[in-house]
């Protein structure tokens, strides 16, 4: 197993080696500091960097004897299982540290393949990732579920066994361990990294985070009845009449409402906005180089496009950089899913244009087939591109009544995946805020539908009834609303396995469709004394081509090619060599065979001249960037 951290390597492999003792003690991350009641976040900021620790009943903080999915798991618990599996399944698992987060935490990744059948880089591959958005932890759970499912069924399930024998699956459960840890140990609920960021562009970093005013560990909403002329002018919420209990708030135009609604906390910087500049603020899913745009304020004309959360420059964050560099060093990957919550939707490129405008028709057809494959496992309401399908899925702006228009999203992972890397790349969204069905038949899955399901199936645990409290600045308010962590961003714990499993099974189904070159025949024919013909025949038995059209365009993959290999002593001497490849006649003796499509059969034929009477052994090599690498031995007998 390849582990960059020496101590981790010793722990996992059991190898006893000398270690260099560090001059300074190892950094104790706050989640491991059992003595401290507070969770401290790294980085210099103008607001607080420490928050009270909480233990949520929906989370497992210490690994049990058995991995179950009736609770969410901390990063450490996930890493515990990855380390345990590396020991338990050494023949098919490599576990390694792919990089370190902003705060210095290791980012674990696993390669899953049968090592006896070849290197992972010589096989078609898929890559699945979760946890990029810190609070969207259901995505990480789906990776964890898939990992366990593959390992436990290897050698039992014929399809899974064949897949791991012939392909490589790369799994990264936590791409943002800093943010996920803060989310699971404190009341904070960001979706970014914890790197300080001036989100509201007032010259201060992270100065206005949310505050848990009532000390329950959950950031709820505050609603205040507008009473003063200034409040009445700004009031933009009413009580939604659809709920007879008066729980739901409905947005309206400023001055037409009766209430003001805030997230729990205070206006630390006095700018009139509440909690708008909390911990972090960079969005790892806006930091990719394809169609990247600068943060608001970065367009000096004021007339171009900007993108909130984009970062200082493309791949400025180690978490996205580690993903992109890993991908570029592993061009054998054809399928990717880097997941979030909570639309729910199978989300794919393009993010800045209509599908028909920029995608090759052949590639779009494959993506559309994958859309339907995903829906067959998950029954999500939507599958399609970001720019059009996602942006207009509700057709009409609920507030204004105007028709919704396509909206660009810049620096998005799926666009990097297709346009830059030429792969099938999804950014699927799990969970649905409890909106399991359209209770009122209005065609929209909204908070009303979530509230009705909460009452019907969840014991009304997802919504806190409005309760009077005195705010230190606003005065008399009510606190309540949906539970933001385990109903809003993620589901109640008893819903976890269903969502993690069905998404994982879609990812597994995509992996099973990877391209797969298979050698069907190797023929050696003697033409005359010393003259031989060697023919290799192969087919793509997978359900994807070895290269999308976009992959060919951007040259991320090479043509499939076949070559012969003999002992160098036999081929040196040019025209006097004992073994000469006479066809192809070019100096380059490689046969370039284009890109093998789905079900396509191909062949390559060489002619060889052998001097002397001795038998000659050689190898024929079939090399495909995404279809695999193969060698076969042959003997030329005089």
Instruction: Tell me if residue 177 falls in helix, strand or coil.
Output: helix
| Whether residue 8 has pLDDT greater than 50 | no
Shared-domain flag, residues 150 and 204: no
Shared-domain flag, residues 187 and 210: no
Does 160 map to a domain?
yes
Closest residue by Cα to residue 283 from 203, 176, 387, 187: 176
| Whether residue 7 has pLDDT greater than 70 | no
Does 172 map to a domain?
yes
| Whether residue 137 has pLDDT greater than 50 | yes
Q: Number of helices and strands (H, E) in the chain?
A: 14, 28
Shared-domain flag, residues 106 and 162: yes
Shared-domain flag, residues 69 and 188: yes
Shared-domain flag, residues 50 and 165: yes
The owner of tokens 């898939």 is 146
Does 281 map to a domain?
no
Shared-domain flag, residues 328 and 473: no
Reduce the secondary structure of 204-259 to three states and give it as a string: CCCCECCCCCCCCCCCCEEEEECCCHHHHHHCCEEECCCCCCCCCEEECCCCCCCE
Does 23 map to a domain?
no
CA distance 103 to 177: 9
Shared-domain flag, residues 169 and 91: yes
- Answer for the pair 375, 441: CB distance below 8 angstroms, yes or no: no
Chain CA centroid to CA 379, Å: 20
The pLDDT value recorded for residue 460 is 97
Chain CA centroid to CA 557, Å: 22
The pLDDT value recorded for residue 26 is 79
Q: Where are the alpha helices (DSSP H) in 14-170?
A: 75-88, 138-153, 158-166
Does 41 map to a domain?
no
CATH number at residue 89: 3.40.630.10
| Whether residue 191 has pLDDT greater than 90 | no
List pLDDT tens digits, range 228-279: 999 999 999 999 999 999 999 999 999 999 999 999 999 999 999 999 999 9
User: In sequence order, which residues have a C-beta less than 8 Å from that of residue 22 and are 6 or more positions away?
Assistant: none
Shared-domain flag, residues 368 and 501: yes
Shared-domain flag, residues 233 and 153: no
- Answer for the pair 28, 104: CB distance below 8 angstroms, yes or no: no
Domains of the chain: total:
3
- Answer for the pair 147, 110: CB distance below 8 angstroms, yes or no: yes
Closest residue by Cα to residue 281 from 252, 254, 317, 308: 308
Does 302 map to a domain?
no
- Answer for the pair 323, 95: CB distance below 8 angstroms, yes or no: no
Shared-domain flag, residues 97 and 133: yes
The pLDDT value recorded for residue 19 is 61
Shared-domain flag, residues 524 and 419: no
Shared-domain flag, residues 387 and 407: yes
Does 113 map to a domain?
yes
List pLDDT tens digits, range 554-578: 999 999 999 999 999 999 999 899 9
The CB density around residue 325, as the number of other CB atoms within 10 Å, is 13
CATH number at residue 525: 2.60.40.10
CA distance 317 to 288: 10
Q: What's the number of CA atoms in the CB half-sphere (13 Å) around residue 44? A: 0
- Name the residue range of residue 165's domain: 46-195+323-431+495-514
Q: Strands of 125-129's sheet, edge to edge? A: 93-100, 106-112, 168-172, 125-129, 333-338, 424-426
Does 458 map to a domain?
yes
């Amino acid at each position: 197993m390849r582990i960059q951290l020496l101590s981790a390597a010793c722990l996992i492999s059991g190898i006893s080696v000398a270690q260099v003792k560090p001059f300074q003690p190892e950094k104790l991350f706050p989640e491991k500091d059992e003595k401290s009641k507070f969770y401290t976040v790294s980085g210099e900021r103008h607001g607080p960097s420490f928050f009270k620790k909480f233990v949520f009943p929906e989370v497992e903080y210490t690994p049990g004897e058995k991995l179950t999915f009736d609770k969410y798991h901390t990063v450490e618990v996930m890493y515990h299982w990855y380390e345990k599996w590396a020991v338990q399944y050494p023949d098919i698992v490599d576990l390694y540290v792919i990089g370190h987060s902003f705060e210095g935490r290791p980012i674990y990744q696993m390669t899953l393949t049968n090592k006896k059948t070849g290197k992972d880089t010589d096989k078609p591959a898929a890559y699945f990732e979760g946890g990029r958005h810190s609070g969207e932890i259901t995505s990480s759970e789906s990776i964890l579920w898939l990992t366990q499912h593959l390992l436990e069924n290897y050698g039992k399930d014929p399809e899974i066994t064949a897949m791991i024998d012939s392909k490589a699956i790369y799994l990264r459960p936590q791409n943002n361990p800093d943010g996920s840890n803060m989310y699971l140990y404190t009341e904070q609920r960001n979706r970014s990294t914890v790197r300080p960021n001036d989100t509201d562009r007032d010259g201060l970093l992270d100065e206005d985070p949310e505050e848990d005013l009532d000390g329950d560990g959950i950031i709820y909403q505050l609603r205040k009845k507008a009473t003063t002329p200034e409040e009445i002018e700004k009031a933009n919420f009413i009580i939604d009449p659809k709920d007879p209990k008066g729980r739901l708030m409905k947005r309206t135009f400023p001055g037409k409402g009766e209430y003001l609604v805030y997230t729990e906390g205070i206006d630390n910087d006095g700018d009139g906005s509440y909690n708008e500049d909390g911990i972090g603020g960079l969005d790892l899913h806006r930091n990719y180089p394809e169609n990247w745009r600068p943060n608001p304020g970065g367009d000096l004309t004021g007339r171009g496009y900007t993108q909130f959360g984009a970062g200082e420059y493309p791949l400025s964050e180690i978490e996205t950089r580690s993903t992109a560099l890993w991908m570029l060093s592993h061009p054998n990957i054809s399928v990717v899913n880097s997941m979030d919550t909570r639309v729910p939707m199978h989300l794919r490129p393009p993010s800045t244009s209509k599908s028909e405008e920029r995608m090759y028709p052949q590639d779009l057809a494959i993506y559309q087939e994958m859309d339907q494959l995903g829906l067959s496992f998950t029954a999500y309401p939507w599958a399609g591109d970001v720019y059009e399908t996602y942006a207009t899925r509700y057709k009409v702006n609920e507030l204004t009544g105007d028709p919704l228009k396509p909206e660009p999203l810049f620096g998005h992972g799926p666009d990097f995946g297709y346009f830059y890397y030429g792969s099938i790349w999804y950014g699927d969204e799990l969970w649905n805020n409890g909106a399991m069905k359209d209770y009122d038949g209005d065609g929209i899955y909204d908070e009303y539908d979530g509230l009705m399901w909460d009452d019907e199936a969840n014991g009304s645990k997802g919504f806190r009834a409005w309760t009077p409290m005195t705010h230190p600045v606003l005065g008399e308010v009510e606190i309540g609303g949906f539970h933001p962590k385990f109903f809003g961003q993620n589901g109640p714990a008893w819903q976890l396995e269903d969502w993690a499993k069905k998404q994982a099974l879609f990812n597994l189904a995509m992996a099973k469709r990877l391209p797969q070159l298979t050698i069907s025949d190797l023929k050696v024919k003697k033409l005359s004394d010393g003259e031989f013909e060697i023919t290799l025949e192969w087919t793509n038995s997978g359900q994807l081509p070895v290269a999308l059209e976009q992959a060919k365009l951007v040259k991320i993959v090479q043509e499939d090619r076949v070559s012969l290999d003999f002992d160098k002593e036999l081929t040196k001497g040019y025209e006097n060599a004992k073994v000469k490849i006479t066809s192809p006649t070019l100096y380059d003796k490689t046969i370039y065979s284009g890109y093998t499509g789905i079900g396509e059969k191909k062949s390559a034929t060489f002619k060889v001249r052998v001097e002397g009477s001795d038998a000659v052994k050689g190898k024929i090599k079939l090399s495909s960037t995404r279809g695999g690498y193969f060698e076969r031995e042959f003997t030329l007998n005089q």
